[in-house]
Amino acid sequence: MKRKIGKKVANNTNRKGLLRKGDPVMVIAGGSSKKRELKGKKSTITAIVGKRGERALLDGLNVGTKHLKQTAPGKPKGKTPKEIPVHISNLMYFADKLNAPVKLKSQRLADGTRVRGYKDPTNGEFVQISDKR
């Protein structure tokens, strides 16, 4: 029996491509209790960053301080605020209709197009999310 040798595949690959720029999200984990508590806060995704797109910048959340050294006359120096990316595994899509975070799924329609959405917990029906691209 052959063993697979090489890199492991991440377990969260199915959720990685479902969150997109502009989606409303809720932070379900992360943040330190002393500096900034992020868990339970709502925001929108401003950008997806990282080599494999595994991190997201959130609007107004997880803001840190970047210390700048003056490299030339007229260039800024000192402390400036900077958004720090959050891992996508710590985020869930926030459905305004339900006022709760939901797990996104993709489904094919009868005409063959793939759409994003979630299962409504009250009746079990698939609710499609409108993509604004």
Amino acid at 85: P
Q: Positive or negative CA dihedral for 41, 92, 127, 116?
A: positive
What are the residues whose beta carbons fall under 8 Å from the beta carbon of 123, sequence distance 6 or more?
none
pLDDT tens digits in sequence order for the chain, 133 residues long: 566 666 554 444 444 578 999 999 999 988 766 667 888 899 999 999 988 888 999 998 888 889 999 999 988 889 999 999 999 999 999 999 999 999 999 889 899 888 999 998 889 899 998 776 5
Quote the pLDDT of residue 57: 94
Quote the pLDDT of residue 132: 64
Cβ–Cβ < 8 Å for 79, 66: yes
Helix (H/G/I), strand (E/B), else coil: 13:
helix
Length of the chain: 133
Q: Which residues pair with 3 in a beta bridge?
A: none
Tokens of 57: 């910048």
Quote the pLDDT of residue 8: 53
Cα 70 to Cα 3: distance, rounded to the nearest angstrom: 54
Quote the pLDDT of residue 56: 93
Tokens of 108: 């094919």
Cβ–Cβ < 8 Å for 84, 62: yes
Cβ–Cβ < 8 Å for 44, 26: no
